[in-house]
Homo-oligomer: A and B are copies of this chain.
Amino acid sequence: MEPVFKALADPVRRAILDSLFCKGGQRLNDLIEGHGMSRQAVSNHLRILEEANLVAVVWKGREKLHYLNPVPIHEIATRWIAKFQTGQLEALSNFKQSLESQEKPNHE
């Protein structure tokens, strides 16, 4: 889970995921276009995405085809974010309670 959060923290990597979402099976050279950076820079980002299992690769001869793997994102959504969603009312309740008592502090 940790590598997924780290991988998603970079806007270039999120853009790569967007690109792979729209069109799967792109090669490294395909993904370079539109990011204004060197091949190695994009390659490094792809490595981080692969290590987080966000991108799956298929070698076809000398070409490395990249595909978005949506599973880790789904897990973030269900295992981590969902927790805060269900508790949303409770958290807001905590917050509002404090606002109400804000004007008379230390009234014990």
Instruction: Give chain B residues whose Cβ lies under 8 Å from the Cβ of A85.
Output: 70, 73-74, 77
Count, chain A residues at interface, CB 8 A: 41
Q: Give the distance in Å from the alpha carbon of A25 to the alpha carbon of B84 in the complex.
A: 16
A8 touches B5 (CB 8 A): yes
- List A1-37 residues whose CB lies under 8 Å from chain B: 2, 5-6, 8-9, 11, 14, 17, 20-21, 24-25
Minimum Cβ distance to chain B for residue A76 (Å): 7
Instruction: Give chain B residues whose Cβ lies under 8 Å from the Cβ of A24.
Output: 91, 94-95, 98
Minimum Cβ distance to chain B for residue A12 (Å): 11
Q: Give the distance in Å from the alpha carbon of A3 to the alpha carbon of B88 in the complex.
A: 20
